[in-house]
A and B are shown apart, each in its own frame.
Chain A
Amino acid sequence: MNTMVRHVWLYPGLIWLGLLGLLAATIGGAYGGWGEISESLNLLIAVLCVGLIGILFMNLGGASVLVRLAAAAGMFWLLFAFIMTASDYLTR
């Protein structure tokens, strides 16, 4: 198998299999396999899927500093919105 075929098909294929594996795991967990922590694990798996797609499929891992800063800024303000809202509702 030449380098280009590996780059174009094999590596993304492995990530795709990983994503499908995570999908199977999260369904298994939601059917009660993980008990009380199933909700937390469902969300953790969603974050893992987002990370795999963002870093490997969208190539954030190999992107320039400028591009990574733009992506980080979006996540920062999202986090900021959640923290500010939680500081109200969770302290009432």
Chain B
Amino acid sequence: MSETSSALLREPWTDVTRQKEADSFGFWIFIASEVMFFGGLFLAYAVNHYLHPHAFKVAVQHTDITYGTINTALLMTSSFFMTAVVRGAPAQMRRTTLIGLSICAALGIVFLVVKGIEYREDISKGLVPGAGFPLEPQAAQIFFGLYWIMTGVHALHLFVGICLVLIIDTLVARRRLPLNSPTIEVVGLYWHFVDIIWMILYPLLYLLGRWS
């Protein structure tokens, strides 16, 4: 076993290949559980869209498509850089890994800033379910209830992703994490998953029924 391989190896594994396979498998099980978590919210959206189609159409027209589109492009771009990191790291492309991770974290932070600006405008327009909600029919509150929960939970996931990316970026920079560590690939999978959730939220919250 090479020196680098033995540095990566953790108990109970006896070889790195099987350890990487287990890491990947375990993480995909986690992603499957996350799919069920977000799936419940998507299902709630689908049922309420079916029950209150007019209210959802009215509500969608009050979300800000500019912010939503900018954020979608930001996450697509961050996924591109994360893929370059995950492909470049095992090939010992150190600069690519460090710069790529930094760009991913920066794009994630910009996403959260844009989302924060959007939240501020939403609150100033009173688009929060409860007394004094400005839209009619009142069932539009259900849409905005889901909007706040889904985007809030997504933002929380992205915040965790940014922290993970910054941690492995620091560890790689200090040479405390080998470039071929499975940890980089696993963090990459998490980052892409958070991106995927937004790819579904974007049409649900910003597009469906907007101009029909």
Contacts and interface: CB of A to CB of B under 8 A. Distances in A.
B17 to A, nearest CB: 11
Given A12-B83, A39-B208, A78 B28 contact: no
B36 A82 contact: no
Which DSSP category, helix, strand, loop or mixed, fits chain A's interface? helix
B196 A27 contact: no
Contacts of B200: 46, 50
A71 B84 contact: no
Contacts of A74: 28, 31-33, 35-36
Contacts of A23: 69, 72-73, 76
B47 interface: yes
Contact of B24 (A20, A49, A67): A67
Contacts of B51: 89
Interface size class of B (residues with CB under 8 A): 35 or more
A71 to B, nearest CB: 5
A70 interface: yes
Nearest to B38: A78
A78 B72 contact: no
Interface stretch (B85-93, B126-134, B138-146, B155-163): B85-93
A34 to B, nearest CB: 10
B202 interface: yes
Of listed A66, A67, A73, residue having the most chain B CB within 10 A: A67
B192 A58 contact: yes
B199 interface: yes
Which DSSP category, helix, strand, loop or mixed, fits chain B's interface? helix
Interface in A7-42: 7-9, 12-13, 15-16, 19-20, 23, 26-27, 30-32, 36, 38-39, 42
Interface in B85-119: 86-88, 91, 93, 96
A58 B35 CA distance: 15
Interface of B: 21, 24-25, 28-29, 31-33, 35-36, 39-40, 43, 46-47, 50-51, 65, 69, 72-73, 76-77, 79-80, 82-84, 86-88, 91, 93, 96, 188-189, 192-193, 195-196, 199-200, 202-203, 206-212
Given A23-B72, A30-B210, A53-B79, 20 more contacts: A8-B93, A19-B80, A27-B65, A30-B65, A42-B208, A49-B199, A50-B200, A54-B192, A58-B189, A58-B193, A59-B86, A63-B24, A67-B25, A74-B28, A74-B31, A77-B32, A78-B36, A78-B39, A82-B46, A89-B51
